[in-house]
C-alpha cells in the first residue's frame, strides 16, 4: 500500500512541472505563430516614412476679399487668379479642375479642388479589410478596429498622425507583446503604407486653418482640415505656381462652416 501511495505521490509531483512545461511550450508556440503572422515589414515602413518628413511650418491668416474677387466652390472660396484658366471636363459636385494652356495648346499649369475624408477617418474604419486587395491581408484585417489603438498613441487627427510618424518606430513584436497589440500595430502600419501618399517634404499649416502641404518635384497638394473633411487644393507646374504665389493664395482661402 505504501509503495502504491508513493508511486501516486511521485506521479503527481512529476505531472505538475510537466504540465507547467507543456503550458509554457504551448504559450511560446502560439506567441511565435502570431509574431510571424502579424510581422510588420519595418524596412518597407521606414522607406515610406522617409518620404513623409515634416520640414517646415507656415502660418495662414485669412485676408477677407470682396465677394466678386473670389473663386467659389461649394463652401470654399479663394482669390480668383484663374481667369486665364479653362475649366476641365471631368468635374463633379466635389471636384473641379482648371488648366492653363500656352500658345501651342500645351498645358502650362493645372489647379484642382476637391474634398475627401481625412486619412485618420480611413484608419478608424471598422472593417479595414476593405482597403486592401491582398487576400492574406484581407484575412488578417477582417473586422479589425484600431480606433482604441490610435487613442493609446494619441493620434486623433491627420496632423497627429504625421507628427507620430516622425518618431522612431515601435519595437518589433516579441513573446511579451500582447496579441491584440500585434494585430493593431500590423493594421496601423499596413494602412499607412496603403493610404498615405509619397512626398518629398511636408509643411504643416497653422493659424486660422490647420492642415499640411505635400510637396513633390512639380506638384504641391494643400490639405486643409475643416468640417470633418480634408479640403485638397492641388497645384501642378511649380515654375508657374511659385512658393510666394502659393503662400499669398493660401491667405485668401475661406471655408464656411457646415
pLDDT in tens, 100-157: 999 999 999 999 999 999 988 877 765 555 566 667 776 777 777 788 888 888 999 9
Q: What is the pLDDT of residues 23-52, one digit of tens each?
A: 888 888 888 888 888 888 888 888 888 888
| pTM tops 0.75 | yes
**Residue 231: is its pLDDT beyond 90?**
yes
Confidence of residue 11 (pLDDT cuts 50, 70, 90): low
**DSSP structure string for the chain:** -HHHHHHHHHHHHHHHHHHHHHHHHHHHHHHHHHHHHT---HHHHHHHHHT--EEEEEEE-PPP--GGGEEEETTEEEE---TTSEE-S--BTTEEEEEEE-TTS-EEEEEEEEEE--HHHHHT-S-GGGG---HHHHHHHTT---HHHHHHTT--SHHHHHHHTTSPPPPPP-TTS-HHHHHHHHHHHHHHHHHSPP-SEEEEEEESSEEEEEEETTEEEEEEEETTEEEEEEEE-TTTS-HHHHHHHHTT-EE---
The pLDDT score that the predictor gives to residue 34 is: 85
Q: What is the mean pLDDT of residues 230-251?
A: 93
Q: What is the pLDDT of residues 68-105, one digit of tens each?
A: 999 999 999 999 999 999 999 888 888 999 999 999 99
The pLDDT score that the predictor gives to residue 125 is: 67
Q: What is the mean pLDDT of residues 170-191?
A: 84
**Residue 178: is its pLDDT beyond 90?**
no
Amino acid at each position: 500500500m505504501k509503495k502504491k501511495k508513493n508511486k501516486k505521490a511521485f506521479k503527481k509531483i512529476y505531472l505538475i512541472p510537466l504540465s507547467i512545461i507543456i503550458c509554457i511550450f504551448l504559450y511560446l508556440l502560439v506567441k511565435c505563430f502570431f509574431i510571424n503572422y502579424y510581422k510588420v515589414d519595418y524596412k518597407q515602413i521606414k522607406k515610406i516614412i522617409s518620404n513623409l518628413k515634416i520640414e517646415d511650418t507656415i502660418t495662414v491668416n485669412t485676408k477677407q476679399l470682396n465677394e466678386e474677387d473670389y473663386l467659389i466652390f461649394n463652401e470654399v472660396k479663394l482669390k480668383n487668379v484663374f481667369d486665364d484658366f479653362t475649366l476641365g471636363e471631368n468635374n463633379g459636385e466635389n471636384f473641379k479642375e482648371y488648366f492653363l494652356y500656352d500658345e501651342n495648346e500645351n498645358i502650362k499649369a493645372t489647379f484642382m479642388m476637391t474634398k475627401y475624408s481625412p486619412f485618420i477617418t480611413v484608419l478608424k474604419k471598422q472593417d479595414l479589410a476593405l482597403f486592401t486587395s491582398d487576400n492574406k491581408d484581407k484575412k488578417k484585417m477582417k473586422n479589425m478596429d484600431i480606433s482604441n489603438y490610435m487613442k493609446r498613441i494619441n493620434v486623433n487627427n491627420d496632423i497627429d498622425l504625421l507628427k507620430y510618424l516622425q518618431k522612431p518606430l515601435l519595437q518589433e513584436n516579441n513573446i511579451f507583446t500582447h496579441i491584440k497589440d500585434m494585430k493593431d500595430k500590423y493594421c496601423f502600419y499596413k494602412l499607412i503604407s496603403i493610404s498615405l501618399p509619397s512626398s518629398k517634404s511636408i509643411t504643416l499649416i497653422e493659424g486660422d486653418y490647420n492642415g499640411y502641404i505635400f510637396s513633390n518635384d512639380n506638384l504641391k497638394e494643400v490639405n486643409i482640415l475643416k468640417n470633418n473633411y480634408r479640403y485638397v487644393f492641388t497645384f501642378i507646374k511649380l515654375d508657374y505656381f511659385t512658393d510666394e504665389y502659393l503662400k499669398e493664395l493660401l491667405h485668401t482661402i475661406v471655408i464656411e462652416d457646415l
